[in-house]
Amino acid sequence: MAFEGLADKLSAAFKRLKSKGKLNEADVKEAMREVRLALLEADVNYKVAKDFTNTVSERAIGSEVMESLTPAQMVIKIVNEELTALMGGSDAKIASASSPPTILMLCGLQGAGKTTHAGKLAVMLKNKGHRPLLVACDIYRPAAIKQLQVVGEKAGVPVFEMGTANPVEICKAAIRHAKDYGNDMVLIDTAGRLQIDEVLMNELKDIKNTISPHEILLVVDSMTGQEAVNVAKTFDELLNITGVILTKLDGDTRGGAALSVRAVTGKPIKFVGTGEKLQDLEVFHPDRMASRILG
């Protein structure tokens, strides 16, 4: 299960803290040292882990906590609040265009789960009463268009494609099509590559500059830990993304990406992928995730 190691280690650290009864500064510092190690082992970014435990220590070493009847509980409560804040605080909303269609551009490296999540989002939006249109813009892999068509069929959502035409032209035509056919949400499945390269980024920038998407959602694989965070940072610097979809949270991801993305990029995780099926998509709730990590 995801976050298992982290949850176990945090729980052990708090158990020791609870066994102490009244706490002094050294007890809190020792517990925070353990928390920091647990975060680093979960592949959380080094600076994020350090800042996090410093913040918790500062809040916990106040007289109110130390003099309370259940100081360990108070420390755990602070950890919970700060974990929630670290992941963005409240739920991030998805943008909505004042005049439809709302354009969502999905980008990410190959294999992250872009096409699957375009389909998942389409299903979620359809279930909310929207009329989404999927757009095939990965013109480089012959199988990519077919894959999106299969996803669209399963989702019961139309797929717009123009073969290997220029991706910017495909997007422009897709938006015209959406207006003509009453699709209020356009989901663009862009090309991915194994690594970030200039050609890919220039293409994504061209699409962005031409169609001004309301959302640029970066799809990253949570299993890749800090690498996912580095990818998010680079994409954000080049494209100014509006949010992240963190995939494969059903695997045994250690949790580093979920905990570091927001702090490193300043951009919220908006959705998480929890399986290969089109239903396996959840809105990301920072508070629920924090509670899950704390067990």
- Quickly count: other Cβ atoms within 10 Å of residue 12's Cβ: 12
Compute the least distance from the CB of residue 255 to ligand GDP, in Å.
Answer: 15
Stretch that binds ligand GDP, among 15-23, 96-104, 224-232, 247-255 (CB under 6 A): 247-255
Residues 176 to 215 in contact with ligand GDP, rule: CB under 6 A:
192
Beginning with the edge strand found earlier in the chain, give each strand of the sheet holding 102-107 in spatial order: 159-160, 132-136, 185-189, 102-107, 215-221, 243-247, 269-273, 281-283
Query: Of 79 and 104, which CB lies nearer to ligand GDP in the complex structure?
Result: 104
| Residue 245: CB minimum distance to ligand GDP, A | 9
Please give the residues from 210 up to 239 whose contact with ligand GDP meets the rule CB under 6 A: 219
Whole-angstrom distance, CA of residue 191 vs CA of residue 193: 7
> Which range, of 31-39, 106-114, 170-178, 237-245, touches ligand GDP by CB under 6 A?
106-114
Do the bridges between strand 102-107 and strand 215-221 make them parallel or antiparallel, or are there none, so unpaired?
parallel
Q: Using CB under 6 A, which of the segments 5-13, 17-25, 127-135, 272-280 binds ligand GDP?
A: 272-280
Candidates 77, 177, 251, 287: give the one binding ligand GDP (CB under 6 A): 251
Cα-based distances in Å from 9 to 29, 32, 55, 77, 139: 16, 12, 19, 17, 45
Q: In the block, which residue shows the tokens 């299903």?
A: 123
Q: Which tokens sit at 89?
A: 């605080």
CB of residue 262 to ligand GDP, shortest distance in Å: 19
Residue 45 tokens read as 């970014």
Q: Is 282 a residue that touches ligand GDP (CB under 6 A)?
A: no
Does 248 participate in binding ligand GDP (rule CB under 6 A)?
yes
Asked if residue 112 binds ligand GDP (CB under 6 A), the reply is yes
Which position among 71, 88, 108, 167 is part of the footprint of ligand GDP (CB under 6 A)? 108
Asked if residue 276 binds ligand GDP (CB under 6 A), the reply is: yes
Residues 35-94 that bind ligand GDP (CB under 6 A): none
Among 206, 227, 275, 287, binds ligand GDP (CB under 6 A): 275
Q: Which stretch binds ligand GDP (CB under 6 A): 28-36, 37-45, 203-211, 268-276?
A: 268-276
Question: Least separation, in Å, of the C-beta of 32 and ligand GDP?
Answer: 32
Q: Minimum Å distance from CB 272 to ligand GDP?
A: 8
**Given candidates 53, 116, 190, 224, which one binds ligand GDP under the rule CB under 6 A?**
116
Binding site for ligand GDP (CB under 6 A): 108, 110-116, 192, 219, 247-248, 250-251, 273-276, 280
